[in-house]
A and B are shown apart, each in its own frame.
Chain A
Amino acid sequence: MKGEKIIPQERIRNFSIIAHIDHGKSTLADRLLEYTGAVSQREMRDQYLDRLDLERERGITIKAQAVRLYYERENGEVYQLNLIDTPGHVDFTYEVSRALSACEGALLVVDASQGVEAQTLANVYLALENNLEIIPVINKIDLPQADIERAKREIQEIVGLPADEALLVSAKLGLGIKDVLEAIVNKIPPPRGKREAPLRALVFDSWYDPYLGVVVLLRVVDGSLYPGLKIKFLSTGKSFEITKVGVFSPEATTLDTLVAGEVGFIAASIKEVRDAKIGDTITEASADVEPLPGFKELKPVVFAGIFPVDSDDFLALKEAIEKLWLNDPAFSYEMETSSALGFGFRCGFQGLLHMEIVQERLEREFKLNLITTAPSVKYRVKLRKGTILEIENPAEWPDPGNIEEVYEPYIKAEIFTPKEYVGALINLCEEKRGIQKELKFITPERVVIVYELPFSEVVMDFYDKLKSYSKGYASLDYQFIGYRASELVKMDILINKQPVDALSLIVHKDKAYYRGRELAEKLKEVIPRQLFEVIIQAAIGSKIIARERIPPLRKDVLAKCYGGDVTRKKKLLEKQKEGKKRLKAIGQVEIPQEAFLAVLKI
């Protein structure tokens, strides 16, 4: 077995690939696998490393993964390359920092037709903070709209890396792949750490496997790991005996040992994922050593309620959330009770995409049927009696009579865009209550626009609009700049006179009427006509500001039903009812999931 080769530490390279979504990271990874013979052409399927179904479908990488490659140079020297895959979206910064902490270098992939994007920059800075060696790679040079000179200029001017060293690649056509491998070997330093020192390994992913128990993905910093070794997780103090060590190359391959500098997995008859916490340090059971620095914990910024459609599924949801959290500690959760939706959880996320991914993973991996409420940010409410409350759930908004002042989080948004979309994007920012701070040309064609924006406006549909106003070319990066006083009120939605707490939202006073009308109209669109009439009202306090009526259905009848087709016709009706299971019955009104997110679309 290849894995039996002993590779000296100076011939090990651990690296990741940093890229914006769609800039071709997964395709480049595929080519590296193919070139080094880790995967034969026949076994090759597109986006080999994206393991979750969801990842392949959405074309994005959510969870970090590690694959070992063996690269033989022309002089016959064999190098062990460990590729640690990272997600490209800004919401997954936490995952990226996990992956980067296991590496000494990174490939920065820039799409020759799109140039550098804001989110990529954020990850580059993260890599620089981790002291990683960065190799710029200009990909998609085969595209007719490729502008290599522009990409080089941007790498030099925006990222600040020497552009003449950028590699020219077409991952799709397999051009320049060898140059990439050579650069990895020549530029990225080998791992430090001592094979003879006491064992220290950093856990950067773990998941449950039905055959092996919990599989732990780790980077060995010092010492070595081998089957039979008794290890301990420092944070819990729990000990286990290693049953298997191995690597993905890219299929799981067992090895005799993993040594300092290497990346691989272990299995140790661990039954619960919670016993192999991501960011934890593994040592020998008897050792007494300092833990490795874990990961900076990220605070969630977007909050939403997650409820089971069928309230009997609450316990299943609880279990699923607990399990998923062990695998993705970047979201937070606590129990929530809604009079409309019953028992559920208030969850915090890194961003909107992160929220969608968590919901989809819960539904897919745990076969749950869920309702997610509209996302909210964390507000600060100063009461007349002086106390300050932090409120992330509109349902908990205090009585307006008790409120002295309200503050909302603001961000500084940096938008990179080709110059022709500047006008549209400025309008968008103004519409979202933004304050312009800066507007400058970074190259003759590209502009950076800096705005201060209320974050609540951004978690709604800002990102979608940004993309559509700029035909997908503009990119966004942001950072929090603190809380500012704002005239905010709580708007309630009443359905057949009953307030639905899960539909309440916090709005700016000046926008309340407009939003109320828009939301009532939108709800009218998404709530299907039913057997009985539905009245939708938007209200601020006791004042109704908008009203819509969904007239009852008038016709739903089968023309024919005789003895021969009663089974089929009954099943049809059952299926029609089944289809409505995605609807949440509130009183007598069946409300679809979209209604709870309708506020995003106004």
Chain B
Amino acid sequence: MELALYLHIPFCTKKCPYCDFYSVPEIPDERLYLQALLKEIDLIKYHHEELFSEGPPRIKTFYVGGGTPSLFSPIFYEKLLDKLIQTLLFQPIELSIEANPESLTFEKAKGYKDLGFNRMSLGIQSFNPKGLEFLQRRHSLHEALLAIENVHKAGFENISFDLIYGWRGQGVKTLQKELQLALFLSPSHLSLYELTLYPKTPFFKKYSGLNFLREKRLLMLANLIENELLSNGYLHYEISNYAKEGFECKHNLSYWKVEPYLGLGAGAVSRISKYRFKNPESIRKYYEYILDKGTLPVIITENLNSRELIKEKIFMNLRLTEGLNLSEIRGYSFRLKEEALEKLCKKGLLSIDKDNLRLTPKGRFLHQRVVAYLWDNLEVMK
């Protein structure tokens, strides 16, 4: 079995006020977290053999995300990679690591590169000092540029920037300048996320319902991004992701294509065939299971039936520019009602080419609604 492997590093120096990923603002105990992960890898190998009656899975991509993976030293990753090589068929063609500019020194970047990491995703978030201040980031524009230089010097050729747009005060001109700077630095990959207010985050309480998040303005900014990046040779391959040809993130593509993946660490999620597992979003509980009880800390499992699997395919595949293939749906004896597809096409939200379904640029902005509409028009084939 081929799997994408994800490792979650749920630690940050401070929580960013817009973030709703699981991480804790704690000084991490690298040694303890490593000890738990090594044990988890053994347990997973055993569990995998039990559940699927086959040998260790082959790992085709590896992605370290967080939290802040760059808080951890290269030694931590070295021991971890050794364990993966010993235990699983660890043959990834892409090894990504996320880093924050303020915790990324040249030595660290070089260390990661020497271990075999070949893709670095930098949490720049904004190329404007006011943007960094609004987002309460802990690095300056200067530090961001230094970090980028360090990553280049360390030998990384596949570099991605994470940017957030839509912050208060960012007009078309400001965004244009930020994009110019980003393009000048010529990353192979760019993620551009619209500022989203997730419930329970400090930003949600602070900014909900405020005018600067109105639809018209965000659409204008999104269109600017699309125009700028396409005219500079980037492919818009997922709702929020752009890449130079061949530099699409292979690991993340697995999620959107609904291919199986395995997650390690506190809060990590796995989905293999119809099973979904989730480790507890609590480092204490994660340690308790793995280190004290010696069992896998799986707390939530889903057993997806074919309708749910197909709904997930529609949901995830349509985020991709390459879209959804109707033959996959038929493979499960389901189909989408013809008149619903026609209506979406007529309204300019969807395009169909034989079996291939794609959102148009207009439809992409309505991904949620179109998906909900398709879910409502999903029926069992007679």
Contact = CB atoms under 8 A, between A and B. Distances in A.
Interface of A: 530-532, 552-567, 569-570, 573, 576-577, 588
* Residue in A558, A562, A566, A577 whose Cβ sees the most chain B Cβ within 10 Å: A562
Contact of A556 (B300, B302, B312, B369): B369
A560 B311 contact: no
Contacts of A553: 366, 369
Given A554-B215, A559-B193, A563-B254, A531 B369 contact: yes
Contact of A570 (B195, B269, B311, B376): B311
A562 B193 CA distance: 13
A573 B261 contact: no
B368 A554 contact: no
7 contacts: A553-B369, A557-B368, A560-B240, A564-B263, A566-B312, A566-B316, A573-B371
Nearest to B300: A567
A566 to B, nearest CB: 7
Contact of B239 (A530, A559, A564, A565): A559
B218 interface: yes
B333 to A, nearest CB: 21
B193 A557 contact: no
Contact of A559 (B240, B254, B261): B240
A558 B238 CA distance: 11
A591 to B, nearest CB: 16
B187 interface: no
A576 B368 contact: yes
Contact of B365 (A555, A570, A573): A555
Given A557-B194, A561-B315, A561-B319, 18 more contacts: A531-B347, A531-B366, A553-B366, A554-B215, A554-B219, A554-B365, A559-B196, A559-B240, A561-B255, A563-B6, A563-B271, A565-B269, A566-B255, A566-B312, A567-B269, A577-B375, A577-B376, A588-B343
Contacts of A555: 215, 218-219, 365-366
Q: Give chain B's interface residue range (CB within 8 Å of chain A).
A: 35 or more
A564 B65 CA distance: 10
B60 interface: no
B252 interface: yes
Interface in B59-80: 65
A560 B366 contact: no
A552 B311 CA distance: 24
Given A563-B261, A564-B267, A564-B269, A554 B366 contact: yes
Nearest to B371: A573
Given A563-B255, A567-B269, A573 B302 contact: no
Contacts of A577: 372, 375-376
Can you list the 7 inter-chain pairs with the closest CB atoms, starting with the nearest?
A563-B255, A559-B193, A557-B367, A556-B368, A559-B194, A555-B365, A531-B369
Interface of B: 4, 6, 8, 21, 65, 193-196, 215-216, 218-219, 239-240, 252, 254-255, 261, 263, 267-269, 271, 276, 278, 300, 302, 311-312, 315-316, 319, 343, 347, 349, 364-373, 375-376
B15 to A, nearest CB: 16
A519 B68 CA distance: 55
Chain B interface, >50% SS class: mixed
A531 B347 CA distance: 9
Nearest to B249: A562
Contacts of B278: 567
Contacts of B216: 554
A560 B193 contact: yes
A172 B368 CA distance: 54
A528 to B, nearest CB: 11
A531 B349 contact: yes
Given A531-B373, A576-B368, A557 B255 contact: no
Given A555-B219, A564-B8, A564-B269, A570 B367 contact: no
A558 B369 contact: no
A532 B365 CA distance: 14
A573 B366 contact: no
Nearest to B238: A561
* Residue in A530, A557, A569, A576 whose Cβ sees the most chain B Cβ within 10 Å: A557
A236 B255 CA distance: 68
A561 B319 CA distance: 9
B294 to A, nearest CB: 25
Contact of A561 (B316, B364, B366, B373): B316
Nearest to A532: B347
Contact of A563 (B215, B263, B366, B367): B263
A557 B366 contact: yes
Contacts of B302: 567
B368 A573 contact: yes
A572 to B, nearest CB: 9
Contacts of A576: 368, 372
A567 B215 contact: no
Contacts of A570: 311-312, 315
A561 B376 CA distance: 21
A562 B219 CA distance: 22
B362 to A, nearest CB: 8
Contacts of B193: 559-560
B260 to A, nearest CB: 10
A173 to B, nearest CB: 41
B196 A558 contact: yes
Given A532-B347, A564-B267, A573 B315 contact: yes
A556 B269 contact: no
A556 B268 contact: no
Nearest to A552: B347
B263 A567 contact: no
Contacts of B218: 555
Contacts of A561: 255, 315-316, 319
Contacts of B4: 563
Nearest to B191: A560
A532 B350 CA distance: 13
Given A532-B347, A557-B239, A573-B368, A564 B254 contact: no
Contacts of A573: 315, 368, 371-372, 375
Contacts of A560: 193, 196, 240
A579 to B, nearest CB: 11
A532 B373 CA distance: 11
Nearest to B215: A555
A444 B300 CA distance: 73
A476 B77 CA distance: 79
Contacts of B196: 558-560
Contacts of B375: 573, 577
B57 to A, nearest CB: 15
Contacts of B8: 564
B235 to A, nearest CB: 18
A564 B6 contact: yes
A562 B252 contact: yes
B16 to A, nearest CB: 13
Contact of B276 (A530, A562, A567, A569): A567
A127 to B, nearest CB: 52
A576 B268 CA distance: 25
A561 B365 CA distance: 14
B143 to A, nearest CB: 24
B79 to A, nearest CB: 24
A566 B263 CA distance: 13
* Residue in A559, A561, A576 whose Cβ sees the most chain B Cβ within 10 Å: A559
Contacts of B364: 557
A560 B312 CA distance: 15
